[in-house]
Amino acid sequence: MNTVHFTAGMGEHPAMVTRVAEQQWHALADDQVVGRGDVLCRPDGRIFLSIDSWHGAVFDRLADAMLADLPRPLYTVVDEADRDLTSSWERVGFTIRRREWEYVVPTDPRVTGLDAGQPPSGVTIVPAGEAEEGPLRALDRAIREEVEATVGWQAMPAEVLPRPHGTTVLYPSKYAVAAQADQYVGLVRVAPLTRQPRIGLIAVRADQHRRGIARALLAHVLGSLHHSGTETASAEVNESNEAATALFEGVGAQRAGSNLELVCR
């Protein structure tokens, strides 16, 4: 593979930046790797960058090399509490695009207030692992089309799992759904991570909004987690999503941090 070389001053030891693979760059000084840059192509087509280096000059040169080779726009995600890293990305031309709140969500119904909640009339909750795959995929496609037609799927929390073209539901067993008559009208996805399960998505068909379906789905998954001995779950919410913010904060979820998505156009 052809490589591109840059040099960056580091006191008496200049660093050289080389593209070592299609999606990876290395910065070398005295034959030692002093910085790495990586590219991740997300399922929605967006290109996300990450850079790991100890020196600001090395960071800048890695960023310069990557920006020179890659098509815009380019994205990255940082912990908002890491001001040094955020400043480094801003220094090379990135700006804040959006913020996602990280929530810790209690599961105990005595805290959430969801113990007495019932699904709306005519709606039943199908537990995770019991949903029919065909109708689940049809619901997922319908919801994605509705989101794309309004705010755009890029406004949703980033999904990083690679998937075959046209496939959006990789693991149906992670989804619980809300069923009405002969169709599914809402879904919730939970990743059963060892340390803390993650609520990755709650979504309801647009024509079924404001009926309490999302709350019923949340009550179901939190109740199931509590019953299994799990005290808390985690979730990410775009700060512009007022409905989701109200839903989680209404059940006692606490903000534990925030991530910034930055873009270079």
* pLDDT one-digit tens code per residue, 248-265: 999 999 999 999 999 999
Residue 151 has pLDDT above 50, yes or no: yes
Q: Is the pLDDT of residue 200 over 60?
A: yes
Instruction: Quote the CA–CA distance of 237 and 144 in Å, as a whole number.
Output: 17
Contact (CB, 8 A) for 74 and 47: yes
Matching residue, tokens 């999904």 = 159
pLDDT at 1: 42
The single residue listed with the structure tokens 């009405």 is 180
pLDDT of residue 256: 96
Locate the domains of the chain by residue range. Answer: 5-99, 102-260
Sequential DSSP letters for 24-81: EEEEEETTEEEEEEEEEE-TTS-EEEEEEES-HHHHHHHHHHHHHHSPSPEEEEEETT
CATH number given to 5-99:
3.40.630.30
Q: How far is CA 241 from CA 146, 157, 245, in A?
A: 15, 11, 6
pLDDT digits (tens, 9 = 90+) for 64-90: 999 999 999 999 999 999 999 999 999
Mean pLDDT over 102-128 rounds to 91
Q: Does 5-99 match 102-260 in CATH topology? A: yes
The mean predicted confidence, pLDDT, of the chain is 88
Residue 197 has pLDDT above 90, yes or no: yes
Tell me how long the chain is.
265
Of the CA atoms within 13 Å of residue 35, those in its CB half-sphere come to: 29
Mean pLDDT within 128-155: 85
CA distance 228 to 185: 26
Of the pLDDT bands very low, low, confident and very high (cuts 50, 70, 90), residue 162 is: very low
| CA contacts within 13 A on the Cβ side of 36 | 8
Query: At 154, phi and psi to the nearest 5?
Result: -65, -15
Secondary-structure class of domain 102-260 per CATH: alpha beta
Closest C-alpha among 188, 87, 193, 203 to residue 144: 203
Arithmetic mean of pLDDT, 152-179: 69
